[in-house]
Amino acid sequence: MKPVDALSSLKDIDGVYGSFVVDASGALTLRDLPAVIDNAALREAGPRIARLWGAFPDDDPPEYVLLEFAAHQVFIRKFDLGSLCVFVPPTVNRVALKLAANFVARWLDAELSAAGVSAEPSPVSEPPPPPSQSAPPPPSAKKTTYFYRGQRYEG
Amino acid sequence: MSETTASEAMAMNLSGEGSRESAVVEALTGDKEAQATNEEPAADSEVAVEVDVEEIPLEIPRAPRTGFPAPSGFQAVLQHANLHNLLQIESLSRTTGVFLVVSQGRRGYLHLSNGDLIHAEVGALTGEAAVAQILSWDDGEFKSCARPLGATTIHSSLQALLLRLARDSDEAAAMSERQPPIAGAPHPVEEDKPTEPHLPVPSADGQVRTGPPMPPRPSRPPPLPPRIEREPASRDFARESTALSEVFISPSGELMQGRGAEPDEFSARVAYAARLADLIGRAIRSGTPRALELKGKGTQTTVKWHADGSLSASLEQIQSPKMR
């Protein structure tokens, strides 16, 4: 199974709009979302999602976070190597969603650890480009590889 | 329907994987604009022309004839632009106005108020159905017009609406791919095998023989086993919850009320999580969250946003029910 197929399986749950995955440092790793939510938005949200787990009590391992907005919700499931985020309507069958997210999270743990992804966040975060600078990043700049509908993208 | 789904097409558009031709943006004035819209420049201002004033695109400077002032700012011609993206740009700019969408002789209107899509119309269709139809058009023109804002018929946020329409479009495409073959169309020989045991089966010599008569089918299925009564659905996974701590935090982050165990530490965690949730909502253009639920193995934190920016939160212990 391809990584994107694992994310697509979440759409078996009625109403699921799509999902994406960020690693332990919040970098975008996978996406299966309509393009109305662009990668820039997900990259901006990623580090905050990774830090959300710090809001849990020290003695209580986190299971999930549910963010409720006016018209939709974001269900965030932690796994060893990152976070799985699913866009759902308020009417979603939450029990079924949790189970499906558990399966996908387990699969992602196995696949990403086999691919050598570390559970530790990156020691140094990438600095944002200065606002006045419009030149493209240097060739040595770190690129994130992600998959969308079976296609591999870098950026 | 092409094999590329609507959301894939949008993804390609955003990621630049589609057409590599760059967008062409020109500042248009006077005759240039007339060329771009294939319209003849007005040679004689005395010629009477029937014009629906409400539908005059604002970018056409006909101030002396219609009374509309010539607009300031850039006008753009974008090749290969996606209607979803144009709409989102106007939404992010908090635009108020009406946009005329013309595609292959069809006309639709999208009404935005302070960036919110409040109304749409195509012929007799209005509301979300009209938006769905307009966004299904593949090409055409998207321009501001001087039509007055209509009454609100759309109550979803633009982001949620676009997400839902993209999903519906993908599902419709997937459904059309799963359509059963047309009756009479050639199909593999294996599918000709009878699937019901009572149907006549051709023998080796080609004669059709009818088997022994099957017993009559029961008119009703057998009765189901007795229903198992469950705990009320409001209990999450049949667990019992007990509030450990409750806090009320002002918009400036001060702990206004607190009770239970360690309210100061709990309020700090709540304020931090709420701030992160707020930033996530802004990043994905979903606005301020209404509520946040943090579920751990043994506790559950619930945060609620109030209209004045204050927060209330509770920490509950989750206990598994005792075995009976």
pLDDT, tens digit (0-9, with 9 covering 90-100), for B219-266: 566 666 666 555 444 444 344 446 788 899 988 888 888 888 788 888
Structure tokens belonging to residue B176: 């059309």
Report yes or no on A133 lying in a domain: no
Report yes or no on A137 lying in a domain: no
Q: How far apart are CA A125 and CA A122, in angstroms?
A: 6
Q: Which of residues 81-140 of B touch A (CB under 8 A)?
A: 82, 84, 88
Domain residues of chain B, as ranges?
A: 6-24+78-172, 236-319
Chain A residues within 8 A of B277 when measuring between CB atoms? 52, 67
If pLDDT is split at 50, 70 and 90, which confidence band does A153 have? Answer: low
Between these two residues, B50 and A85, which has the higher pLDDT value? A85
Question: Could you tell me which chain A residue has the CA closest to the CA of B86?
Answer: A36
Between these two residues, A91 and A155, which has the higher pLDDT value? A91
Query: pLDDT at residue B21 above 50?
Result: no
Q: Which of residues 161-180 of B touch A (CB under 8 A)?
A: 161-164, 166-167, 170
For the segment A76-88, what is each residue's pLDDT rounded down to a tens digit?
999 988 999 999 9
Instruction: Decide: B242 and B259 in contact? Cβ < 8 Å.
Output: no
pLDDT of residue B147: 87
User: Closest Cα of chain B to A150: distance in Å?
Assistant: 10
| CATH code of the domain containing A80 | 3.30.450.30
If pLDDT is split at 50, 70 and 90, which confidence band does B198 have? Answer: very low
Of A17, A45, A55, the CB nearest to B167: A17
Which superfamily, per CATH, for B236-319?
A: Dynein light chain 2a, cytoplasmic (3.30.450.30)
Q: Which of B323, B305, B302 is nearest to B236 (CA)?
A: B302
Report yes or no on A140 lying in a domain: no
Query: pLDDT at residue B292 above 90?
Result: yes
For the segment B172-187, what is each residue's pLDDT rounded down to a tens digit?
777 776 665 554 444 4
H-helix segments, chain B: 6-15, 30-36, 63-66, 83-92, 128-135, 158-177, 263-283
pLDDT, chain A, mean: 81
Average pLDDT (A23-33) is 91
Of A63, A148, A151, the CB nearest to B295: A63
Q: Which of residues 243-282 of B touch A (CB under 8 A)?
A: 269-270, 272-273, 276-277, 279-281
Helix (H, G, I), strand (E, B) or coil at B131: helix
Between these two residues, B43 and B256, which has the higher pLDDT value? B256
Structure tokens belonging to residue A30: 């996978």
Which of A67, A146, A147 should be substituted to probe chain B, the one whose Cβ sees the most B Cβ atoms within 10 Å?
A67
Look at B11 and A149 and tell me if their CB atoms are within 8 Å. Answer: yes
Regarding pTM above 0.95, the answer is: no
User: Closest Cα of chain B to A116: distance in Å?
Assistant: 27
Distance from the first to the final alpha carbon of chain A:
23
Q: At what angle do helices B83-92 and B128-135 cross, to 10 degrees?
A: 130
For chains A and B, what is the number of CB pairs under 8 angstroms? 150
| Residue A8 domain boundaries | 3-117
Instruction: Decide: B110 and B98 in contact? Cβ < 8 Å.
Output: yes
Number of domains in chain A: 1
Q: Is A72 on the interface with B (CB under 8 A)?
A: yes
Chain B residues within 8 A of A72 when measuring between CB atoms? 159-160, 163, 286
Torsion of CA A78, A83, A88, A93, to 10 degrees: -30
User: Closest Cα of chain B to A55: distance in Å?
Assistant: 5
Helix (H, G, I), strand (E, B) or coil at A12: helix
